[in-house]
Amino acid sequence: MNTGLIKYAFIAFVALILVLTLNPFVVIGAGERGVVMNFGAVQKEILNEGLHIRIPIMQKVIIMNVQVQKGEGQGDAASKDLQQVTTNVAINYHLDPLKVAHVYQSIGTFNQVGERIILPAVSESVKAATAQYTAEELISKRQEVREKIRQLLLVRLAVYGVIVDDFSIVNFAFSREFSNAIESKTTAEQLKLKAERDLERIRIEADQKILQAQAEAESLRLQKENVTENLIKLRQIEMQQRAIEKWDGKLPQVTGAATPFIDLRGTP
């Protein structure tokens, strides 16, 4: 009985050693896929997340990351008007989970995808799109340029099993001479706009003065038309009445420079 237990324990121990040595279990983590190879030949079978068993020695599993990755870089290109442009870009991408076997077979591991495929594709797409616009259009039509580059990347990278999630232009950098020219043009446009606003303000003020003068002239004209002989006599009577109301009852001492006025108050 003891001999049998020892025999079974030895067998279990050997089996454990074989399992640990050959490692037939493969765990595919979240955001990963497994590429199966039989004696080095890539198989169409793709392992999803979870625990899987492989045939030791015969099979090997390469784990590929299918999570969204971010890449940043810059590239030099020439615009339609032959201005040198440096474009800083950012791209979010991930491997198509259904094509990881093809990606590994044609490109290599996930880390090699960015170096061999993403960077060259971004550089070529940026150059192709930039050449269709002038330097000023690259600034004024930034969203249109971005969308054109994104569409070019979608087509280029789809061939390699890479999906573009997002693409953005971080910045355009031009030569110092062109930047100075743009700044001068912007300043001139701002000054022109200010001058136009000032002229408009002056025109409005002049129109207001003309309208005010016309209103005053019309008022005087109406007043003149309403002045009659009877109105003049009425105004004279009103003035005489006001003069009488203001008189204090004293007669003037002198009525003229040559003829004295006799003061009757001193006569007995």
pLDDT tens digits along 87-106: 889 999 999 999 999 999 98
User: Are the beta carbons of 130 and 145 closer than 8 angstroms?
Assistant: yes
- Sorted by where each begins, the domain ranges of the chain are 2-65, 69-174
How far the first Cα of the chain sits from its last, in Å, is 181
What's the fold here for domain 69-174? Tetrahydropterin Synthase; Chain A (3.30.479)
pLDDT of residue 226: 62
What CA–CA distance (Å, rounded) separates 237 from 191? 64
Q: Rounded to 5 degrees, what angle do the CA atoms 104, 106, 112 make? A: 60
Residue 72: beta bridge partners? 90
CA 166 – CA 147 distance, rounded (Å): 10
pLDDT digits (tens, 9 = 90+) for 111-153: 888 888 888 898 899 999 999 998 888 888 999 999 999 999 9
pLDDT in tens, the chain (268 residues): 567 666 666 677 666 666 556 678 889 999 999 999 998 899 988 999 999 988 888 889 999 999 999 888 887 888 888 888 888 899 999 999 999 999 999 888 878 888 888 888 988 999 999 999 988 888 889 999 999 999 999 999 999 999 999 999 988 888 777 766 666 776 677 777 777 888 888 888 888 888 888 887 777 676 666 656 666 676 677 777 777 777 666 655 555 555 444 444 444 4
Structure tokens at 53: 């068993």
